[in-house]
Amino acid sequence: GVARDAAILSVDIRGFTPLTRSMTPGQLVRFITEYQARMVPAVVRHGGAIDKFLGDGLLVTFGALRKSATCAADALRAIDDLMLAAEAWNRERAARGEAPVRIGAGAASGSVVCGVIGEAGRLEYTVLGDAVNVSAKLESHTKTEAVRALVSAALYETALAQGYEPKDGQIRLSGRTVGGIEGPMDIVVMAK
């Protein structure tokens, strides 16, 4: 394993299970393919690497595979693009008479360990560490805050120092209780 400072992004579709209950297997595969075809380029364009596809979820790293002096800023730029891609996809879906899809995203940064884990019959390169956990908890916390994207305030401040230009509507929330995280934390709403 190798320790690196990185930004971690977790992305998920809201209400995925109820949305897909009436889909045939072919419709479900087409749906996920459409989703990934829009989300993956939005993160790769900013240097993100897909660590895992988790059904309707994505685990994305910035600066984990290769050191990056702009990993935090890149993660926030990717979130901005993800939200735009989701909006464009929803316009396409509406034109076809399909229900909108809501995407949730959470991101955090910190030291992670990158390496190959598993056993001889099934090995996988992945990242481990608090930032991975916090990004997943923030993605889930978007439901509580009724927003589309949240990031840790620490990631946000680092991104600003790395040249990220804030967008309108980003709001800092202080002292929030996030499920699964010990103690209150400061977070930033990236997209309502």
Per-residue pLDDT reduced to its tens digit, 148-184:
999 999 999 999 999 999 988 899 999 999 999 999 9
Residue 9 gets the label, from left (phi > 0), alpha (psi -120 to 50) or beta, of: beta
Report the distance separating Cα 151 and Cα 187, nearest Å. Answer: 6
Whole-number pLDDT of residue 32: 93
Average confidence score pLDDT of the chain: 93
Whole-number pLDDT of residue 96: 93
Per-residue pLDDT reduced to its tens digit, 1-50:
889 999 999 999 998 888 888 888 998 999 999 999 999 999 999 999 99
Residue 161 gets the label, from left (phi > 0), alpha (psi -120 to 50) or beta, of: alpha
What dihedral angle (degrees, nearest 10) is formed by the CA atoms of 172, 53, 60, 132?
70
Please give the average per-residue pLDDT across 88-93, as a whole number: 95
Confidence of residue 138 (pLDDT cuts 50, 70, 90): very high
Q: Which residue has the tokens 């890149």?
A: 74
Whole-number pLDDT of residue 1: 84
Report the distance separating Cα 143 and Cα 68, nearest Å. Answer: 31
